Structures are given as structure tokens and as C-alpha cells.
Amino acid sequence: MSTSTFSRTPHGGPSRTGPSPAAGSPAPAGRRKRRRRSRPVLNAIAVLAALVWVFPVYWMVNTALVPTSELFTLTPRFVPFPTSFEHFSGVLRDEKFWSALRMSAIVALVVVVLAVLFGFLAAVAVSRFRFRGRGALIMLVILVQMLPAEALFISQFRMLDDWNLLSSVPGLSLLCLGGIVPFTVWLLRGFIDGVPVELEEAAMVDGCSRVGAFFRVTLPLLGPGLVTSSVFAFLHTWNEYNLALIVMTKTDHATLPLWLRSFSSETSATDWGGVMAGSTLIAVPVIALFLSVHSRMGSGLVAGAVKG
């Protein structure tokens, strides 16, 4: 039996109006039922994956709160009771920790500001302008990302040694910038390409200059891209170990990852409680930064362009 209905047109001929609502309703209803049945399974899988991901972080904090006398018991303690803060107090009393914290904070701040600035300007040039060698520049950015960092250690060390930049903030910042700026350019180029150029052209029709149209229309819509690139640059620099190991040859100019290595080897036996307490303190700024900007990272790129 056909599910289509016919109606009479003004000229007297039949007109097909499509399937009747009764015939089309069971399929969507069945799909909704299948979604409702599968939703608990998908939620359970998501919760399980989240627990697997968060367990190492939980175990790190748990170990940092367990007293030294209870660290090496055969029975694992999933709840740190009684709770002890002796490991955290030992880390906070260490002057080398505060020196390494200052060094890491300064390097991270310098790298984030310069990486976003240089990457943003280069991404604007690649995205909005057509010039000779543009394709070669884009390929060069990709090739730089493909080079293994270990292949450059010797040349980087000799370069900084000739420039007297070993064990210094400018030296480490320069090497970190070399590894982050190409990725920042590639990332921000995608964000800028996602903003329609017609928005700038409309602003130029209304009297804005080309530069004014970009900064008044396009730049406010690039917030998620700038935040994402800043977070990536901060994470890359804050957790950098290999470059810091090569550049920071003096023990009093160590960053936090280098300090953590020396902290765990100062005694014959590794102080796992101190290591976990130091790792927890190092992770606190990263977690705080992510919690403060995660909404910006997930927001739409051109959401403001479609608001009336």
C-alpha cells in the first residue's frame, strides 16, 4: 500500500504531497529508543576511561600524602590515612625548589608571549596575503615540525656556547621558541582561515582600513585560537626536560623538571614521597591554568559573527 497522499491542484490535476506522518513516525521513534538504550553503556565506557586516565594523578597525590613509614608496605593504601604532609613541607623548605620555580616561570612567560606574538603575525601573513614563496614557507613550517629534537642537540649546544647563553633564560627560551613557533603558526593559521574574510571586507566598506578591520573584527574572534596556542606553549615549556638538561649546565640554574631529578637522587634511596609531592606541586599551575581557560578553548570560532 502506498504511503503517499494526493491532493487536487488548482488546475485540477493530482499533486503528490509525500508520505503521511503516521507512516514516517515509527522510524524516528525506533532510533530514539535505540539511543536511549545505548546511552547507559556509552556513559559507563566514558566513566571507565576517565577513571583510567585520572588514576595516575590520584596515585601521585595519594603517595605524597602517605607517611614515609607506610610507603613500602606490601598492602597498597588507596586512602591516605593517617594523612601526612611531611613530604610537602620538605619540598617547600627546599630553597632549590623556589629557585627552579622562578626559573621555570620566567622561561614559560617569555616563551608564551613571544611564541604567540611571532606565530600570530606569521599566521596572518600566510592566511591573509598571497606572496611569492608562500607555499614553500608553509612546507618549511611542516618540515621543521618533523625534525627530531635530539638531532639538533649538539648544534644547539655549540650555538649557545658561542653566544655565551648557556645556563641562561634567553638561551633556553630561544630553543623552546624554535620548537614551538612552527606549531603555533600552523595552529593559528587554521583559526584565521576559519574566520570569513567577508567580515573584514564588510568592515572596510563601512570605512575601516584593512588593519583596522582585522583588529576590530577578526582579532576578537581569534580568542580560542590564541588561548589554545598559549596553553600549548606553556605546557611545552613548563614540562621541558631535554632542552633544559642540555642548556642548564649549572645546578643553581635548574628548571623544575631538572630540580625534580636532582631531588630524587640526593640520597642513596629515592625518596618517592618527596618525588610525588614535588610532582604534585609542579602540576598545580598546569591544572589551574587549564581550569581557568578551558571554556575559551571550547568556544566557537565565529560565534560572535552570527549574532544579530
Write the CA distances from 113 to 38, 82, 93, 175, 299, integer angstroms. Answer: 46, 44, 31, 15, 22
Residue tagged 613550517 (cell numbers): 141
Residue tagged 499533486 (cell numbers): 15
Per DSSP, the three-state class of 164 is: coil
**Predicted TM-score (pTM) of this structure:** 0.77
> Which of 46, 41, 94, 132 has the alpha carbon at shortest distance from 263?
94
- Cα dihedral 39, 42, 46, 48 sign: positive
pLDDT of residue 265: 57
Tens digits of residue pLDDT in 35-85: 777 788 888 899 999 899 899 999 999 989 988 888 888 787 788 777 889
Q: Domain 90-306: which topology?
A: MetI-like fold (1.10.3720)
Tens digits of residue pLDDT in 115-164: 999 999 988 888 888 878 777 877 887 787 788 878 888 898 999 999 99
CATH 1.10.3720.10 positions along the chain are 90-306
- Cα dihedral 237, 173, 134, 185 sign: positive
- Cα dihedral 101, 235, 183, 222 sign: negative
> Could you tell me which residue, 39 or 166, shows the higher pLDDT?
166
**Mean pLDDT value of segment 246-263:** 86
Look at residue 297 and tell me whether its pLDDT is greater than 70: no
- Cell numbers describing residue 187: 595552529
